[in-house]
Amino acid sequence: MPFDGSLYEGESITFTITPKAGYKIDKVLLNGVSQTLDGNKISIENISQNHKLEVVFVPDGNKHEVPSVNYDIIKRYVSKSTTVRASFGLGVHSSTSATVFVKDPNIATVDTSRISNGSPEFTVTGRKAGKTTIVLTFNNNAHTKIEIPVIIQSDSSSGGSGGSSGGSVSYKPQVFHNIGGTVTVGSDNRTIKITPSNGYRIADVKINGKSVGVVTEYKLSSASSSNKVEVIFEKISIDGNFGNTNPGGSSGSIGSSQFTDVAGHWAAEAINYMAERGWVNGVGNGRFVPDMNMTRAMFVTILSRMEGKSTGETISYFIDVPQDSYYAEHVKWVSEVGIVNGTGNYKFNPDRNITREEMAVMVNRYLEYKGIFLENDSNEFADSNKVDTWASVAVEKLGKAGIVNRKNDGKFDPKDFATRAELVMILYRVMQTYL
């Protein structure tokens, strides 16, 4: 059965495996590799990625066989007009089979009511946008039951039903732009509309690497996910000149703050630097609120903007990341490259506050993603013994490099929540020193 709990990055978990009466454990596999049990327990240490634990039970007498059930949903997100195939490994038992049904057939349907060793696949077809569950009940003595969440997305691309067995086909172009306006893609995935914000103008538009000049609308020759749209906005200064706000451009000088609550704050320079490049935004009414706690959604959004990863692709692996949320495309990128992982049970927990030790781990992973590997140094802080094992190396590395500093009492305070100002200052130091 799938693990139905939640784990934070770096945590460990121990499973106790207990056969039912009349059965015994035949083998235990972790990610396909045979494992030796400690009694009837197995532990997975310092979790940082998805793992697959398989347990095979065999009869210890004349009881019915219990199958080894391993499943892999190729895609959990299905467009209304396309299909996706799910395949199951049902073990070596020739008699293994399972009934298949969808809890809400108005949202999705399956093409068979039963799977077996001879036909271990079924196809899901979306009917309308929504969430439902596919239930499989196997014909073993314990009547093993598996429930699989499936999210049906509304159609946003042309194509129609025919059926790609590898999941929905996206024809949406890749869109990149800096702060200063919006770029929208029409329902035909060809029409591009560009709207500068007040105080900005369009500096240039590139289609697949070639400049098409200053245009407010452009129609691609065809709909394809390989199309690349790049838009650069420029800020209009008071004297009528234009200043490039492209995140990849030169740093320039840091002017007065665009926020009313930053002047005099210890992180003002870092906040202004990041804001001028469009990497951080305020919370409304001209405020940045530097001492507010930093959430997981805020953090991944900043990192993604720093990397220019505004692809427009908002379908993520996590069931608690709405497709229309401001952070959806950013969550998708950081999780794909392994900087920030989910918290278990198909969830990302975007609104959960980040602790200082979690912040250190994520920043260190970002540096390693950029090819920067810091030196380690133990006992950098007075409370190093309070840092969880999974975060200790990252905290020590960032401390030695001067990216994170001791507090007045020489402590790191790993369990305290990280603030917006603290995270921005740390990333500012990273930019100034290493990038």
Would you give the distance in Å from CA 164 to the centre of its chain?
A: 24
Q: Spell out the residues 6+ positions from residue 169 whose beta carbon is closer than 8 angstroms to its own.
A: 79, 82, 157, 159
Instruction: Say what the pLDDT of residue 16 is.
Output: 85
Of these ranges, 142-156, 219-233, 305-319, the one predicted with the greatest mean pLDDT is 219-233
The H or E element spanning position 268 is helix 268-276
pLDDT digits (tens, 9 = 90+) for 59-76: 655 444 434 444 444 334
pTM: 0.45
Q: In the structure, what pLDDT confidence band is assigned to residue 93 with cuts at 50, 70 and 90?
A: very low
Report which of 96, 419, 166, 81 is spatially closest to residue 270, judged by C-alpha positions: 419
Phi, psi dihedral angles at 332 (to 5 degrees): -55, -45
Each residue's pLDDT tens digit, 148-173: 766 666 554 333 333 333 333 457 88
Classify strands 77-79 and 145-153 as parallel, antiparallel or unpaired. parallel
- Residue range 70-153, CATH number: 2.60.40.1080
For residue 71, the tally of other CB atoms under 10 A from its CB is 16
| Per-residue pLDDT, 201 | 79
- Cα–Cα dist 106/152, whole Å: 11
